[in-house]
A and B are shown apart, each in its own frame.
Chain A
Amino acid sequence: MISQILFIAITLAAIALFSFNLKKVIRNIRIGKAADRTDQPQKRLMTMIRVALGQSKMVVRPIPAALHFVVYIGFVIINIEVLEIMIDGMFGTHRVFNGLGGLYNFLIGSFEILALGVWVGCAIFLIRRNILKLKRLNSPELKGWPKSDANYILITEILLMTAFLLMNAADAKLQALGAHHYITAGAFPVSQFLQNLLPGSESSLIAIERGCWWFHIIGILAFLNYLPYSKHFHILFAFPNTYFSNLEPKGEFTNMQSVTNEVKAMLDPSFTPPEAEAGRFGAKDVNDLSWVNLMNAYTCTECGRCTAVCPANITGKLLSPRKIMMDTRDRMEEVGKNIDKTGTGFEDGKSLIDDYITREELWACTSCNACVEACPINIDPLAIITDLRRYAVMEESQAPASINAMLGNIENNGAPWKYSPADRLNWAKES
């Protein structure tokens, strides 16, 4: 009885804490400006199903795709097991789904195989990161927390899977001993090989079985609450992120309506622009970005596929699209903490540009869209880069000198080079 109460209390506390943190994340995303991403719901749904559920963009790199797929499927399906644990925990039952008979055996058996798959997958991921030191997973922007974060999660998953398998092994042994409460249920294709490692006495087996059971469920609840602090948030956010992703051609940049109004008024004096909303051109800080950019930042898995294909990064320039996403998230978290402390309107004198992302990074981008194409969950680092450039150019007039010269030429000669508009047709006349 006590354990049931304890179980319910822990579960409720975990869910409450998670909702509290999730609300904060959503509040942070809402710092961003409005953007309409509600058109074409059918196409959006299909995109989500294809990209997030079906992981269609992972396949470009087959090895991590296969490993990730096992971990992903394993994680999703093993959570059916969590449902049983929940019911057992609340009502003090044991293996309550046993009534399913042969199907139950099949389910437990396949969970075990998947658990082994997840175990192996995570082990290989750890090796790739820490021993093989894959370049993509060891860039400078991953030093410190991002690196530990990735390792913590992989180790946790390995521990959770180990606990699950040990629990089953102990359970099976208890079933064979005919121990009270341990009904005969389940098939154990993997954990049977662990049985010999376990002691023979009933009391120690019960201790191991219960210990692993508690570890497993507390581990999962802790994992849930760790998500908002981690790049592993993507297991939830990949879905809304792909649903709300950009459906327009990648070459198209956003149109700035406020500019359209001003330009129209300049060209046509009879045009009266609608009441202009105050706000700056482009983005200096996270609150100038759109909520889509900010959701992108929470969704980023820091996989670095974007950076691995970025021509600027490949040739040794400072720009890394992954870092753009990580910086945006870090700054958003900081602004969020400021709001928690002092309410909105707090100024800490910092901004996304300069304090997080340098001009050198911004101006190295060729707007080639390779990063956008490569991202397995449809994140758009280029949109953020563009908005920061807009701020640098339109609010501060701080472009590199040669860019200013180019802009001047367009303005005066209608071409980025200093040629006379009268010479535009010379190609047709000369040899």
Chain B
Amino acid sequence: MSEKLNIEVPTMAEMIARGEEPEILFWVGCAGSYDERAQKTTRDICKILHHVGIKYAVLGTEESCTGDPAKRAGNEFLFQMQAMTNIEVLNGYNIKKIVTGCPHCFNTIKNEYPGLGGNYDIIHHTQLIQELINDGKLKAEGGESFKGKKITYHDPCYLGRGNGIYEAPRKALEVLDAQLVEMKRCKSNGLCCGAGGAQMFKEPEKGNKDINIERIEEALETNPSIIAAGCPFCMTMLSDGVKMKDQNQNVQVLDIAEITVRANGL
């Protein structure tokens, strides 16, 4: 079930037409736009932004793929075409600050775009949540209680090892009064979900198991009631894994944004 979004999501074009400027642009990403499960996270990020009163906008139909899967697959041409077109749009709107729910978009815009003329202050949504918690704007009160629930967090490669962000997502869980457990392979030693480097879009090479199964087995060893994710691709891989292990009655895979929305009753 995906709850209805009762708030209006402003697009950049609309805002400019009204003569306004957003504080931050929400870069939704392809998965966040089209993947049903990830759309839910996207809506939850909007709810958080709306709740704390940050003036934001999305690009809507003007957004296009950052080019991440093209770059990781080795198609630098296509990547740069995408990047330069996106940079043109972003610069055209004079965008300075961006938040995104996708570590792949995050990494690409943060690290690859500056070399092509796109310089933005971009943060991942878990970093935004961390900031909001630090500023006392999000409290994990008034919503669902996670008291005593066992939660384990899976580090997305492009957030963790790729960019060294390990604390922000954990901070969002620490405020919950839940029981946090780490998997054997976590933080800089985390294990990939199996989707990165354009793997999401192809069948895995033959081996003795799929990578997401290996990961889920490790996650399940911690006996969690919730596996927390921070990436739409990890979300797909982990949810598939949980389903394949017939554990979807006992274990939920939730994005940090979803957990935050629930805890705050948004």
Are A and B part of the same complex? yes
- Does A259 reach chain B (CB closer than 8 Å)? yes
Cα–Cα distance between A422 and B161 once the two chains are bound (Å)? 35
Q: Is B176 an interface residue (CB 8 A)?
A: no
The reply to whether B74 and A264 form a contact with Cβ atoms under 8 Å apart is: no
Q: Which one of B64, B74, B191, B213 lies within 8 Å of A282 (CB-CB)?
A: B74
Check B201 against A403 for contact (C-beta < 8 Å): yes
Interchain CA distance A367-B43 in the complex, whole Å: 29
Contacts of A392 in B (CB 8 A): 74
Q: How far is the CA of A370 from the CA of B3 in the complex (A)?
A: 37
Q: Which of A264, A367, A410, A422 contacts B78 (CB 8 A)?
A: A410
Q: Cβ of A390: which chain B residues have Cβ within 8 Å of it?
A: 74-76
Q: How far is the CB of B14 from chain A (nearest CB, A)?
A: 11
Q: Report B-chain residues with C-beta under 8 Å of the C-beta of A428.
A: 5, 9, 43, 46, 58
Give the residues in chain A near B164, CB-CB below 8 Å. 249
Contact assessment for B74 and A251 in the assembled complex, using a CB-CB cutoff below 8 Å: no
Is A394 within 8 A of B161, CB to CB? no
Provide the bound-state CA to CA distance between A363 and B206, in Å: 11
Tell whether A403 pairs with B196 under 8 Å between CB atoms, given A251-B107, A427-B32. Answer: no
In Å, the complex CA distance between A215 and B162 comes to: 49
Partner of B61, one of A252, A405, A424: A424
Complex contacts, A309 vs chain B, CB 8 Å: 185, 189, 191
State whether A403 and B202 are in contact (beta carbons under 8 Å apart), knowing that A368-B161, A415-B33 are contacts in the complex.
yes
B91-99, B108-116, B133-141, B238-246: which lies at the A interface? Answer: B108-116
In the complex, the answer to whether B77 meets A259 with C-beta atoms within 8 Å is: yes
Closest Cβ neighbor of B64 among chain A residues: A414
Residue of B nearest to A266 (CB): B81
Over the window 1-39 of chain B, the binary record of Cβ atoms lying under 8 Å from chain A Cβ atoms (1 yes, 0 no) is: 011110001010000000000000000101011100001
Q: Are A369 and B161 in contact (CB under 8 A)?
A: yes
Contacting pair A366 B194 (CB below 8 A)? yes
Contacts of B251 in A (CB 8 A): none
Question: In the assembled complex, how far is the CB of residue B156 from the closest CB belonging to chain A, in whole angstroms?
Answer: 10
Q: Which residue of B lies closest to A359 (CB)?
A: B205
A313-327 vs B, CB cutoff 8 Å, 1 = contact: the mask equals 011111100000000
Q: A249-B163, A373-B189 are in contact. Are A417 and B205 (CB under 8 A)?
A: no
Number of A-B contacts (CB under 8 A): 219
**Nearest B residue to A263 by beta-carbon distance?**
B80
A87 at interface (Cβ–Cβ under 8 A)? no
Complex Cα gap A266–B207 (Å): 42
A249-B111, A373-B161 known; A318 and B43 CB under 8 Å? no
* A256 within 8 A of partner (CB): yes
Which has the most chain B C-beta neighbours within 10 Å: A281, A282, A365, A405? A365
- What residue in chain A is nearest B88 (Cβ atoms)? A267
Contact of B34 among A255, A363, A391, A419 (CB under 8 A): A419
Whether B61 and A364, one on each chain, are in contact in the complex, defined by CB atoms closer than 8 angstroms, is no
Q: Does A416 contact B (CB under 8 A)?
A: yes
Q: Are B112 and A255 in contact (CB under 8 A)?
A: yes
B250 on interface, CB distance cutoff 8 Å:
no
Beta-carbon contact of B30 and A315 below 8 Å: no
Cβ B80 vs Cβ A366 within 8 A: no
* 374-431 of chain A: CB within 8 A of chain B: 386, 388-394, 399-400, 402-403, 405-407, 410-411, 414-417, 419, 421-428, 431
Across-interface contacts of A366 in B (CB, < 8 A): 157, 192, 194-197, 199, 211
Query: Whose C-beta in chain A lies nearest to the C-beta of B42?
Result: A427
In chain A, positions 265-318 with a C-beta closer than 8 Å to chain B are 266-267, 281-282, 309, 311-312, 314-318
- Please measure, in the bound complex, the distance between the C-alpha atom of A415 and the C-alpha atom of B61, giving whole angstroms: 11
Most central of B32, B67, B80, B194 by chain A CB within 10 Å: B80
B175 CB-CB contact with A under 8 Å: no
Instruction: Assess the A406–B77 pair: CB atoms within 8 A.
Output: no
CB of B205 within 8 A of CB of A415, answer no
Give the B-binding residues of A (Cβ under 8 A): 60, 248-253, 255-256, 259-260, 262-264, 266-267, 281-282, 309, 311-312, 314-319, 360, 363-370, 372-373, 386, 388-394, 399-400, 402-403, 405-407, 410-411, 414-417, 419, 421-428, 431
Q: List 13 A-B contacts (CB under 8 A).
A: A249-B162, A251-B158, A263-B77, A264-B84, A267-B81, A311-B194, A312-B205, A317-B204, A367-B197, A373-B189, A390-B75, A394-B76, A407-B73
Q: Which 9 A-B pairs have the closest CB atoms?
A: A251-B162, A367-B197, A389-B74, A316-B207, A316-B208, A414-B64, A252-B111, A368-B192, A427-B39
Which B positions have Cβ atoms within 8 angstroms of A?
Answer: 2-5, 9, 11, 28, 30, 32-34, 39, 42-43, 46, 58, 60-61, 63-65, 67, 69-78, 80-82, 84-85, 107, 110-112, 115-116, 157-158, 161-164, 185, 188-192, 194-211, 213-215
